Structure 1
Amino acid sequence: MQNSIWQAEKKKILTRLSIAIYKMTDEQLISLLHLFKELNLKDNEKLLSMPKSHSDGVVAARDRQLLIARFFLLINQLSEADLLTFMNRYEQKRFAMLREFPRVPCNITVDLAADGRAINCSAMDISAGGMFVESCEPFTMNQAVSICFSVPENQLALKIKGRVVRLEQGGIGVQYESLTNYQIQIMKNMINRLQRQASSQYHID
């Protein structure tokens, strides 16, 4: 690839990665570190070392920022071939994470807060990465929202920050942002329960 074209393409890749990295959970950041290790980068052992984490797997805020800074140092040192290889593996990993827990139908009452408004509505389907919320209220693309709902089996109130990524007549698609490992596990358990309930409805003895 010609140098000028490659520099422009590299800038696009770095911008895209920057946005994605800052939104990643601790679990996803560790997964990204493993992708760098797969490249067998020499003289970068210190940058590739694993950060310390608490017993629940959460990385301390300071260590999280240092880890993100290390990512940018590594990315800027990659050759054209290594960066393209990394992006290919990153896309495969990202797709796998999105497909690991598919969207399932539900009927969950949620409290949605946006721009000072508090809206009581229903989630019609849910996944580990987002949900579709039924609402006639006006929203805009990329609008920040907060979602609060109860998890029946735990009797917990789960509050999640998100962003509007889809606008449809009668509702919006919301993508979660910055989930903790604890929240991710709760979501996975709830989705598995919903899938079992859906399967049992169609089970014939």
Structure 2
Amino acid sequence: MQEPSWQVEKKKILTRLSIAIYKMTDEQLIALLHLFKDLDLKQNEKLLEIPRPKPDETFGARDRQLLIARFFLLINQLQEADLLKFMNRYEQKRFAMLREFPRVPCNISLDLAANGRAINCFATDISAGGMFVESCESFTMGQSVSICFSLGQDQLPLKLKGSVVRLEHGGIGVKYESLTRYQIEILKDLINRLHRKVSTQFKVD
């Protein structure tokens, strides 16, 4: 007997959340708890209380496990509409948290268009908010640019709009402008892959 489609989808969501939550920092766990605040969970007010660690201290292992357990108690009690609402906010928050991460080193060949010029250059680091592009060309602060680069043989090139927010010798800092949901998802996947690659290279056995 097959499970209802929603139950199958719910299992997928819970599995995905389980992997993500166990990797979060203490600060990210507390930030995630705030996402439940706007949901109608009055019967779980005790679970929604925000932990208050002392300044410059992190949770102990037991406190962290208790906080994670609270997440899964809350998530398992959500109805379909509330769980989908929570996941939508989680995705937005996840990207916001990703923007706070340091830039990831990379070596991405790209085409940059500005003022009718097309320039082939390289991005040397990338984040969810922008990238640094090596170039000997002249640019001005606030200048609009278009960026296009390949993601792989079986994927369409990613095209982004941006503006120059930093001028340095040998390159420019570009901030993305007006990202679509599709572009956000592609960037998240790319940055996560690059981050794992860098972590593996510098992993100490």
Q: Give, in angstroms, the shift of residue 151 of structure 1.
A: 1.0
Q: 2: CA distance between counterparts of 1:163 and 1:178?
A: 11
Q: Which residue of 1 aligns with 2:72?
A: none
Q: Which residue of 1 aligns with 2:136?
A: 136
Q: Give, in angstroms, the shift of residue 152 of structure 1.
A: 2.5
Structure 2 residues without counterparts, runs of 5 or longer: 1-34, 39-87, 89-94
Give CA-to-partner distance per residue, 1:179-201, whole Å, 9 cap, x none: 11111010000000001110111
Counterpart mapping for 1:159-198 below 5 A: 159-198=159-198
Q: Give, in angstroms, the shift of residue 102 of structure 1.
A: 3.2
Q: State the AA in 1 paired with 2:135.
A: S
Structure 1 residues without counterparts, runs of 5 or longer: 1-34, 39-56, 58-93
Counterpart mapping for 1:57-72 below 5 A: none
Q: TM-score, normalised by structure 1?
A: 0.52
Q: Which has the larger radius of gyration?
A: 2
Q: State the AA in 2 paired with 1:177.
A: E
Q: State the AA in 1 paired with 2:99.
A: L
The alignment partner of 2:150 has SS state of strand
Q: Which residue of 1 aligns with 2:152?
A: 152
Determine if contact 1:102/1:128 at 8 Å carries over to the other structure. Answer: no
Determine if contact 2:98/2:128 at 8 Å carries over to the other structure. Answer: no
Q: Which residue of 2 aligns with 1:86?
A: none
Q: 2: CA distance between counterparts of 1:157 and 1:95?
A: 24
Q: 1: CA distance between counterparts of 2:131 and 2:154?
A: 20
Determine if contact 2:121/2:135 at 8 Å carries over to the other structure. Answer: yes
The alignment partner of 1:146 has SS state of strand
Q: State the AA in 1 paired with 2:124.
A: M
The alignment partner of 1:156 has SS state of coil
Question: Which of 1 and 2 has higher RCO (CA within 8 Å, sep 6+)?
Answer: 1
Quick check: 1:98 aligned with 2:99? Answer: yes
Q: Give, in angstroms, the shift of residue 103 of structure 1.
A: 1.1
Q: 2: CA distance between counterparts of 1:104 and 1:97?
A: 11
Determine if contact 2:166/2:174 at 8 Å carries over to the other structure. Answer: yes
Q: TM-score, normalised by structure 2?
A: 0.52
The alignment partner of 1:194 has SS state of helix
Counterpart mapping for 1:116-135 below 5 A: 116-135=116-135
Q: Give, in angstroms, the shift of residue 113 of structure 1.
A: 0.1
Q: Give, in angstroms, the shift of residue 202 of structure 1.
A: 1.5
Q: 2: CA distance between counterparts of 1:141 and 1:178?
A: 18
Q: 2: CA distance between counterparts of 1:127 and 1:139?
A: 21
Q: 2: CA distance between counterparts of 1:109 and 1:97?
A: 23
Give CA-to-partner distance per residue, 1:95-144, whole Å, 9 cap, x none: 75631x43100000010000000000000000111000000000000000
Identity among equivalent positions (%) equals 68
Change in CA separation of 1:122 and 1:142 when aligned onto 2, cut-off 3 Å = same
Q: Cα RMSD over matched residues?
A: 2.8
Q: State the AA in 1 paired with 2:169.
A: Q
Q: Which residue of 1 aligns with 2:202?
A: 202
Q: Which residue of 1 aligns with 2:107?
A: 107
Q: 2: CA distance between counterparts of 1:187 and 1:174?
A: 14
